């Protein structure tokens, strides 16, 4: 069964304290791995798509990497405005399977 | 360049009533997906539609739920005879093809009293 597991469930960091979020997945035929950001009361906002092991993408303080079994979202020197829930998802066919997310809180 | 639009943003219904949720995809997109998000749960796929066609409804409950995407107008997710367990946030996403990134709308938060 296709599955996406994210860890940790919640993470509190001081402003400027870098860290990584983990996304482990099992899927029969990976068509893409996605990272989204979701703020309270809003819809998921697209961040990255990764297609193959070894691929990396960056945007401002965020960097996403992909291996055959997991993906990491690295956050470098985060700011309070980076506080949100970060969702990982995999596509198999036309369906996207989401993890439960990591709630990130950056303290000023 | 308008994104995915959903309305209403909030909907309150009493048990037994009908709920209609609307989704207008991003301009140029013809693929629409509906997801449900329960508190403390991840987003769950419900249905995938193209214009006038349901492509995959494997995530839809067998009863009371239906979806359509007519030739003209928005996609509609319809829930008949709502129950308290239907209370959730319902999100719509759209893409240009089934292999492209899905972009999400702001969601409709349904509360069943």
Cα–Cα distance measured from residue B95 to residue B42, given in angstroms and rounded to the nearest whole number: 20
Return the residue of A nearest to B33 by Cα: A95
DSSP B2-71: ---EEE-SEEEE-TT--EEEEEEPPTT--EEEEEEE-TTS-EEEEEEEETTEEEE-TTS-SSSEEEE--S
Give the model confidence (pLDDT) of A34-68 as tens digits: 999 999 999 999 999 999 999 999 999 999 999 98
Which residue on chain A is closest to B95 by alpha carbon? A94
Across the interface, of A32, A43, A93, the residue whose CB is closest to B106 is: A43
What's the Cα-to-Cα distance from A25 to each of A54, A66, A91, B80, rounded to whole Å? 15, 11, 11, 35
Apex A30 CA angle, A27 and A32, nearest 5: 130
Of B33, B48, B104, the CB nearest to A43: B104
Q: Which helix (H) or strand (E) holds A40?
A: none
Nearest residue in A to B5, CA atom: A43
Q: Give the pLDDT mean for A81-95.
A: 92
As a whole number, mean pLDDT of residues B81-91 equals 97
Nearest-5° angle of CA A85, CA A1, CA B29? 55
Q: Do A100 and B42 touch (CB under 8 A)?
A: yes
Residue B1 has pLDDT above 80, yes or no: no
Nearest CA-CA distance, residue A37 and chain B, Å: 11
pLDDT in tens, A6-38: 999 999 999 999 999 999 999 888 889 999 999
Q: How far apart are the first and last CA of chain B?
A: 37
Q: Establish, for the pair of chains A and B, how many residue pairs have beta carbons separated by less than 8 Å.
A: 51
The closest CB to that of A94, out of B55, B91, B105, belongs to B55
């Amino acid at each position: 069964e296709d599955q996406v597991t994210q860890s940790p469930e919640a993470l509190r960091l001081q402003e400027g304290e870098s860290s990584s979020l983990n996304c482990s997945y099992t899927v029969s035929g990976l068509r893409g791995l996605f990272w989204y950001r979701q703020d309270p009361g809003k819809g998921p906002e697209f961040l990255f798509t990764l297609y193959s092991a070894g691929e990396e993408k960056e945007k401002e303080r965020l960097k996403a990497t992909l291996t055959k079994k997991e993906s990491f979202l690295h956050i470098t020197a985060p700011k309070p405005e980076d506080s949100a829930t970060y969702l990982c998802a995999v596509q198999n066919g036309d369906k996207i399977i989401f993890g439960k997310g990591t709630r990130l809180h950056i303290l000023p | 360049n308008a994104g995915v639009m959903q309305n209403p943003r909030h909907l309150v219904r009493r048990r037994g009533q009908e709920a209609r949720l609307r989704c207008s995809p991003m301009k140029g997109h013809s693929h629409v997906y509906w997801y449900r998000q329960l508190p403390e749960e991840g987003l769950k796929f419900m249905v995938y539609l193209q214009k006038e066609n349901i492509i995959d409804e494997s995530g839809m409950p067998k009863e009371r739920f239906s979806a359509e995407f007519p030739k003209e107008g928005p996609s509609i997710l319809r829930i008949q005879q709502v129950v308290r367990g239907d209370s959730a946030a319902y999100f719509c996403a759209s893409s240009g093809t089934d292999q492209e990134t899905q972009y999400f709308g702001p969601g409709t938060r349904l509360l069943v009293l």
